[in-house]
Structure 1
């Protein structure tokens, strides 16, 4: 037991050292400082300091832990919202966020983490004597990642997979129909070839018996030739052609049996899709006007949609992390904090 526990711990330490960590900030000096602190325990620490390449950096590095090392909370919010607005991978890539804050923002950051807009925070500015707190937070984040990987998929993920599986029915039918058509085409071609061969032999026989080829072949027994030609067709050519046509029949039977064999699975896929279709598309509205919320609720009441509302960029970020919406609505001239990232 003790040896097994030690091996498990060693595997955990090894995986933690190689974990992908991305430090995002707009200050090169802060990036170097944070990377130096983390590099003592982690081997794969990258930095992202160019705002124009933030999405590219994130999607290339695919971090398991994202450290937001901005010296102001608003910058961190803007950066993270930008990943959701302009990127495609942040929705699908499991990761944890650790935000570094100053003492003026610590209360608000605490509230944001409690609401699960971010995962963890550290009072980093001004620097304290608790330097190990940063790598410890990363260790906690990696443990959360490991636990989440073992957790079952959420409803939206299951619904998406069910829809993909259901699409296989149409593809299977398409391929089966295409295979059936090819089989029928091959059978027709073989039968037509037999007819053409028979007609060609008959034509050749007529030319011989009518004397068209007397300079090439001398026909001494017309009746005997016709008998032998008929025997050649009946005993040699026609059986070979029938055998070729019969050889195609098992393929036709296989195509029919293919549908029957997969009928239970296809029916299950249909049932899964029916359940998935009950999960309605999600529309996220980012607007601080409660009247607009009520208005949209009334307007879209019969549209078969799930509606989610956020009154600020931070609330929108929390909604995005919980479930990716199918559509985001934002009032064009809204002037509240953080929502310009949705333009």
Structure 2
């Protein structure tokens, strides 16, 4: 690919999971398992199995998951230069995860645990909202000590999922190591309940290490207590680039004094799983290829609009020719 010489490289760190996508008939199951609708809730192995057993009769499918992993997969599908750091087990789910990433030429920095590969019960409500019951499994055992000192050296950007903030020692160690090698750090706030549970630590993390923040409306409100425009202004004061996504209204982007409002294609949403993750794919791919902020946001919105028209966090293969054509137009 001719542009690879000038293209910056992006590595992601996060939970290497396999998503079990389940189409719910109603929201009663969420209540019975005390899973707040639209949130990500960590569950143990027993509860994870209970959830999957109780939904066994419903339509389901499998795909690689984890927020940062979804973002990196999207960047690779756009033609980006990528790597991914995570922990799996040498089991059926782990082998599935590794093989899927290798097909996309994502450099795997995968470490192994004796406990099972993590999985996320991805429960999709009739209104397309998704709720996660996540068993981290092997992913929970990732430590900074697993990583070679030079693991981040070949890369320019590190993208981290907000779910890792539950492990303060891990995420701070990762960001310190990345900064040592001069990487720009991108953080997706991940879920409003993650923000609420880790607010003080998140504020310190962003102030000390983070260059790019992605948040949706609920996450931005949980972080700042403010509505989107005011939340964006506060976030932009704490980092280099702030993005607040506002659903069908598009997204707001600010870097210093530069402000961009990005419209989003109006489509029928079937499942919002992965919308924020692939928005970050488009945006970060744009940054790595020196696109302006408006084009970064437009590409992110375009990817998000595609993924919400299908079940799961993976954009259908049939949509990629159009998306890649749009990337070429943005290049001029």
The TM-score, its normalising length taken from structure 2, stands at 0.30
| TM-score scaled by length of structure 1 | 0.30
Structure index of larger Rg: 1
Whichever structure has more strand as a proportion of its residues is 2
Larger RCO (CA under 8 A, 6+ residues apart): 2
Between Structure 1 and Structure 2, the one with more helix by share is 1
